[in-house]
Amino acid sequence: MSAGGVAAGAEVDGWPAYVDALLAERARAARPPARALPSQLSVSGLVDLARDPQGAVQRLVHRLPARPDPHALLGNAFHAWVQQFYGAERLFDLADLPGAADSDVGDTRELAALQEAFTSSRWAARTPVAVEVPFEMPVGETVVRGRIDAVFADPDGGVTVVDWKTGQPPRGPEALRQAAVQLAVYRLAWAALSGCPESSVRTAFYYVRTGVTVVPDELPEPTELAGLLLTG
């Protein structure tokens, strides 16, 4: 074979790698650039990232205002009532909530049913050490803010942080794992606010409609929470 034939053969042999490189470059150019998440995030936003990473990133990046639906307004009304039940000062006014002026808070009978169910629960018989506690804490490089519904002292010197839920309990272990992100943040926040060890902070969801207290077997570690923010 002549020298020219050898050179031509070498060029042909190199074509697949050249084509692969071109295709890879084309794919990189077509890929949308990564967008930074907001520097501050609500706890619900972090839970949203656990449940629907791609969709949550889009919602957070574009920062579209969320209009509360009747279920959300009902939940807010119930939380305000629980504050009054425990003798705590209301920290927000329902009239100030977005959409409150042109949307009813929900069926008053439904709210009354939630109130009746709560007063029959074991949590109503206990006295919290704190109610509606606002907080801001760092998770990775993001500041996460939220509000702890109630904290109860336990006989062993620890505490139980409880979040009231007016919806239905999670269906399946994966849904519970995602919901537990909220309690993981609350545990860290209360430990930081009170100066107690994280190991002494228990957490639970109380689903008022069904009267069920849900205690996850385990909560995400701080590194897992920070990992959620790398989704984008």
pLDDT score for 145: 92
Question: Over its length of 232 residues, how does the chain's per-residue pLDDT go in tens digits?
Answer: 555 555 555 555 566 666 667 676 666 555 444 556 777 888 988 888 888 777 767 767 666 565 556 677 888 899 999 999 998 644 444 443 333 333 344 568 899 999 999 999 999 999 999 999 999 999 988 899 999 999 999 999 999 999 999 999 999 999 999 999 999 999 999 999 999 999 999 999 999 999 999 999 999 999 999 888 885 5
Do residues 82 and 148 make contact, with C-beta atoms less than 8 angstroms apart?
A: no
d(CA 202, CA 77): 26
Q: Which pairing describes strands 40-42 and 130-139: parallel, antiparallel, or unpaired?
A: unpaired
Torsion of CA 109, 110, 115, 117, to 10 degrees: 110
CA nearest 178: which of 225, 137, 226?
225
Which residues 6+ apart lie within 8 Å of 48 measured at CB? 55, 56, 59, 60
pLDDT score for 90: 44
> What are the tokens at 169?
């309990």
Alpha helix (H) ranges present in 101-166? 108-119
pTM (2 decimals)?
0.74
